[in-house]
Amino acid sequence: LAFHQLTNPILGNPTDRLSLQIELKDITIIIIMSKEARPSWDSPMQFVLACVSYAVGLGNVWRFPYLCQMHGGGGFLIPYLLMLILEGIPLFYIELAIGQKMRLGSIGAWMAISPYLGGLGIASVVTSMYLCLYYNVINAWSFWYLFHSFQSVLPWAECPVNANRTGYLEECEVASPTQYFFYRETLNISSSIDENGGLHMGQALCLLLAWIIVYLFIVRGVKSTGVVVYFTATFPYVVLIIYLIRGVTLHGAWNGVKYMFTPKLEQLVNPQTWINAATQIFFSLGLGFGSLIAFSSYNHHNNDFEKQAVIISLINSGTSVFASIVTFSIYGFKATFNYESCLERMRLLCLNAFDLSEESISAGNVTEWIHYLNITHPESFAAIASKIEHLLFVQAVEGTGLAFIVYSEAIKNMPLSQLWSVLYFIMLLLLGMGTLLSGLVWSVMLVFLWSLAGLVCLLCLLLGFGFTSRSGNYWFTIFNEYAATLSLLFIVFLEVISVCYVYGLRRFERDIEDMLGHRPNWYWKVMWAAVSPLLLFSLFIFYIINYIQGGTPTYQAWDKDLVRSGFSNITKINNLKMKTNQSK
């Protein structure tokens, strides 16, 4: 209004014009002071730790090792590192630069670039809200396992007795104690998504505890969260180092590590390997949620975000490789333990079936004896052939199967299993809480007032109770598969297009020069203008084609009567991947 009056030609009173000039200067000073009064990180290190706590999460511990195993160990590392250079670091750089320049949250930053881009920020917030609803359920499961770790015998180490107390429950014996505890005790899962059932009160209370902790950590905004990240970003590394030292000393651990670093080069010609490498980089860094823009908006104007983008991306990818070494050492121990147990069971089977002396068959020559008995006593051997187990290395398991079944099964076979269990599930909690506190909640909270943090947490808690019902794990899988995959891919594609071709690459270069004192080099400009958009567009098209050609939609359900994964049809759910690592 003051600017309009100053420029109005019919305004002729010099005194009025002078007072309005003073008023305009005061307004300008207030705006500048308001912008500078925005809270800031105490130091660049605090910002880096917040980004590390956000980017390094559960996906580094369970998703990356699964992909690494599925695509031939070391053969997956080659496309993974290439995608980090071509996709991950350049897009990470863009989000940090936008936040630091605009000093606004996701919605405000994109509206400052163009009023028509406000929907892009809203899309980021909505996607973050989706993940807030279900991500804390993982923390509730971790609390559940942590509380059950303080028992003299871990509850997933042995099966419960049946109602007659004459033996163990058949469902548990046919599957395994770890599977039974996860699906029946932790989830009390139904046999179908249509079979809802009531809430699991234990899980509901654990979810309540998880949201109370989130609220206590975010209620004071950037100051309280900035202090928390010092712990949530560093302690998981302490636990991983302890687990690495313990893991590599386990019997057979080096078999797993060797498998990880033995490349299967034929995987390099498999397009799916490159697609999975690109998407793992994309989701591991947490691009598209608006959280990185919110984080960097609390930086000082001349903060060196270019160096930080490279450092944080390398730390994130290095953590994935480091966690995989720990995971594959556990894989090696578990596989060796199962292999030797299998040999011992077959040795006893042959001794009892053919009435041989105890010393005649050992674990070292049992396979030779099986071959010999099959030739010399074909009829007798045929009677036990169905009981001979196939000796496999280890089945690939991802997601909750890896975190809560494979690791639990390995932990129960370790000395001082309670100690290792407590350390492991504290680490999972910190990884989950770090991602939630440092990222997802922030992008949502910046839309609302921080004083309304309690109401937002309460809303997420009430909606999250649906995941603690008997069919909640099926809904969890739907959210995990579909809440963010395509939406984040589309959001980040629009982000890079908006920066380069709506805001303008030259203008963006000048903004970077204003903050850093130099313009970005040719590598960044080539990635932003051509390589990253084409790669993101290709990934988006691939997902659309893969979804259309997916065939009959199915999901895997736990059948307590058959104790196996039975395939069921359900509309609009495409190949949900709730693995249930079966044992014979």
Q: Is 374 one of the annotated binding-site residues? A: no
Q: Is 176 one of the annotated binding-site residues? A: no
CA distances in angstroms from 118 to 19, 108, 278, listed in the order given: 36, 7, 27
Phi, psi dihedral angles at 564 (to 5 degrees): -160, 175
Beta carbons of 403 and 61 less than 8 angstroms apart: yes
Q: Is 316 one of the annotated binding-site residues? A: yes
| Secondary structure (H, E, C), 399-464 | HHHHHHHHHHHHHHCCCCHHHHHHHHHHHHHHHHHHHHHHHHHHHHHCCCCHHHHHHHHHHHHHHH
Q: Is 499 one of the annotated binding-site residues? A: no
Closest CA to 406 of 332, 463, 464: 332
CA distances in angstroms from 68 to 239, 341, 570, listed in the order given: 22, 26, 30
Query: Helix 417-435 to helix 201-218 angle, to the nearest 10 degrees?
Result: 50
Q: Is 164 one of the annotated binding-site residues? A: no
Q: Is 363 one of the annotated binding-site residues? A: no
- Token reading at 302: 């001349």
Residue 555, beta-bridge partner list: 568
Instruction: Look up residue 506 and give its amino acid.
Output: R
Tell me 220's DSSP state: T
- Token reading at 70: 């599925």
The residue with tokens 């980021």 is: 124
Beta carbons of 307 and 301 less than 8 angstroms apart: no
Phi, psi dihedral angles at 430 (to 5 degrees): -70, -40
Phi, psi dihedral angles at 556 (to 5 degrees): -105, 130
Annotated binding site for Na(+): 55-56, 60, 284, 316, 431
Residues contributing to the annotated binding site: 55-56, 60, 284, 316, 431
